[in-house]
Amino acid sequence: MSFNRPFCSPQRIALVRELYGIRKSELSMRLGVSARTVTCWELGLQAPSAGDVAALCRVFGVGPEFFEPQLEGLPVASGLPHFRSYRAGTQVAYRQAQAYVQVTQDLVRTLRDYVDFPALHLPDISADPELAESIVPQMAAQYVRHVWGLGDGPIAHVLREVENHGVCAVFAPFEHASLDAYSVFGGGVPLIVLNPTVGDYYRQRFDVAHELGHLVMHPDAEPGNKVIEAQADAFASELLAPSEVLHDELPTRMDGAGWLKLKELKERWGVSMKVLLDKAYALGRLTEEGYRAGLKSLSRNGWKLLEPGAISGVEEPSLIPHALELLGDVGVSPEEVRERSRVPQGYFGVMAARRPLLPVRA
């Protein structure tokens, strides 16, 4: 370590504690110090001794270099992640998620020193966060389809399209499962974090499209606002299932033939029957009575929680795993990348995986 800067960064102590979801009182007990001492460390009012740093390393499974200050001038996440609601999880869970975003950006930044990531091609089409009835989400989705060259047909792999246009995606650790997918700008690469327990192909595709909607329309909006969540839903629906293309195919009655048509469209377009039912009503294909009857049928069959579908596996993120594979081909090991990015081992494994991994514990 350099001797011309602090031995231990207060921000890095707070970061790793929040990453593992440990309260100050719990950490103080593990270290045999007072909670006030931990607070003073994190505020920069008191420096931990070399012995304290060694103890921190043992608790969190990191080396002392983890606590070195972040280099000045590095890009960091801008703004808060777009969480669907601040009622879904605890404050500890939200802080843990924000810390996960930061260490993920540390890994992405390190990888970009070695590998050329896809250029960011993300339209900026701001939607008024106070305007509930807005055509901007539909127009934004249509524009994304146009500039990304997606045409009017089904999108075969939503996550791949998002990553190919410069947005990085990772699974969250299992201990974040109380939170839906979320997204954030920053670190030079926008990031989408996927819920690891969502095993429904159709729901996950909608989650990805929803978060893309936030990145396109709400870079500076206050997260958790009901209006912007509805706007992101409208964007996702239009991106995955264009209204003009589907209009004449959507059912006008929710009888047996109507449900068969929704199931057929679901498999062709990769969206849920609930999304298609909402679209049929919004486009005037269904009356309010027919729409309500459809909702009741969804509920009666237990399809509000999990609809039947032909595809069982979810789409897998590949940008980080592929970058690590490329580096491996030229002799740079994943461990070298991990050490340089200073990401704790367990979390590195989660970020580098194409599929969700088991919980990470301190």
Query: pLDDT 10s digit of each residue in the chain, 362 long?
Result: 433 334 789 999 999 999 999 999 999 999 999 999 999 999 999 999 999 999 999 999 999 999 998 754 454 544 567 776 655 567 888 899 999 999 999 999 999 999 999 999 999 999 999 998 999 999 999 999 999 999 999 999 999 999 999 999 999 998 888 899 999 986 678 999 999 999 999 999 999 999 999 999 998 777 778 999 999 999 999 999 999 999 999 999 999 999 999 999 999 999 999 999 999 999 999 999 999 999 999 999 999 889 999 998 999 999 999 999 999 999 999 999 999 999 999 999 999 999 987 666 76
Structural domains of the chain, with CATH: 1-73 (1.10.260.40), 74-362 (no CATH)
With contact defined as beta carbons under 8 Å apart, do 228 and 136 qualify? no
pLDDT at 6: 47
Q: pTM for this structure?
A: 0.92
CA 252 to chain centre: 36
Give the pair of three-digit tokens for residue 185.
Answer: 């700008």
Sheet holding 182-186, edge to edge: 77-78, 182-186, 191-194, 168-171
The C-alpha atoms of residue 156 and residue 315 are separated, in whole angstroms, by 10
185: DSSP letter: E
Sign of CA dihedral 195, 157, 102, 355: positive
Which residues contact residue 315 at a Cβ distance below 8 angstroms, ignoring those fewer than 6 apart?
Answer: 157, 158, 159, 160, 201, 204, 205, 208
**What is the DSSP code (8-state) at residue 194?**
E
Residue 84 CB contacts under 8 Å (≥ 6 apart), including other chains? 179, 180, 182, 224, 229
H or E element: which one contains 329?
helix 319-329
Judged on CB neighbours under 10 Å (0-12, 13-18, 19+), 322 is middle
Ramachandran region of residue 59, left (φ > 0), alpha (ψ -120 to 50) or beta?
alpha
What is the structure's pLDDT at 5? 38
Q: What is the pLDDT of residue 2?
A: 39
| 291, burial (CB in 10 Å: exposed 0-12, middle 13-18, buried 19+) | middle
Residue 204 half-sphere exposure toward CB, CA atoms < 13 A? 25
